Amino acid sequence: MPFKKVLYFSYEKILEREVKRSALPTHIGLILDGNRRYAREMGYKDVTRGHLEGAKKLDHVLKWCVDLGIRIVTIWVFSTDNAQRNKEEIEGLLRVIEEKLDDLSKNPIIKKNGFRIKVLGNLDPLPARLKEVISRLEASTRDHERHILNIAVGYGGREEIVDAVRKAIREKAHGTVLELADSITTDDITSHLYTCGIPDPDLIIRTSGEIRLSGFLLWQSAYSEFYFCDAFWPAFRKIDFLRAIRSYQERTRRFGK
């Protein structure tokens, strides 16, 4: 084994032992950014190859989470803003998502570790075949209870909040408009979010060097810790992941108190 790989492996093991000695997050959110830039950096003519490499990376990250005992993972794979890209790229990305979701229904990591999969977002505009794959995937993992994998597809944080408010209003539609407005509480909105019943993320990681949420879990991230990593998503290493966990562990969480 080359000396550089020996050093990398040794450092990875040191980091892993270190993070296992402290409290670990229950729920991690991941903004999978940088697939297109990775493709260009690698000299690929078709940026879809970057999305394909990113899809492969998910298996590794899920395994890392299982090894550390992190029970809930939420990933963002297609946003409402992504839908504004050119038609050819959107079709390529949605094709990669469809193939990956279909793979997850048979994936040994999902089955062996009992991942229940839930897809978050507005699915109405998605292609019929992708919606069918989503339905089958959710049904095939419905009885799994050990881990949760949320996959945000056609997702926007503002849209989710608007959706939740509309549902809360419809549920409480009585009295005057002012009485209805006054009756809406944070609990009403929380109970209608896509993630209802799932703890809010403790840590949100964004790859590719961008330092913003771009609308990811806006409501749920009020007290989350954030970690921004320079690596593009397909090049995201276990060392990068462990550093994010260590950074989380070094913080004092006050939850606004």
Residues with catalytic annotation? Answer: 33, 82
* Residues whose CB is less than 8 angstroms from the CB of residue 106 and which lie 6 or more positions away in sequence, other chains included: none
CB atoms < 10 A from the CB of 129, how many? 12
Total-model pTM = 0.94
pLDDT in tens, 30-59: 999 999 999 999 999 999 999 999 999 999
Confidence category of residue 12, pLDDT binned at 50, 70, 90: very high
175 sits in the region (left: phi over 0; alpha: psi -120 to 50; else beta) called left
Lowest mean pLDDT: which of 8-12, 210-214, 219-223? 8-12
51: three-class secondary structure by DSSP: helix
Segment 134-154 shows an average pLDDT of: 97
DSSP class of 23:
-
The enclosing H or E element of 153 equals strand 147-155
Which domains are present in the chain? 25-155+201-209 (3.40.1180.10)
Is residue 247 within 8 Å of residue 227, measured between CB atoms?
A: yes
Percentage of the chain lying above the pLDDT 70 cut: 99
Instruction: Locate 44 and state its tokens.
Output: 């690929």
Q: What is the pLDDT of residue 1?
A: 59
Instruction: Locate 244 and state its tokens.
Output: 């994010």
Q: What is the pLDDT of residue 8?
A: 84
Pairing of strands 115-120, 147-155: parallel
pLDDT at 128 exceeding the cut of 80? yes
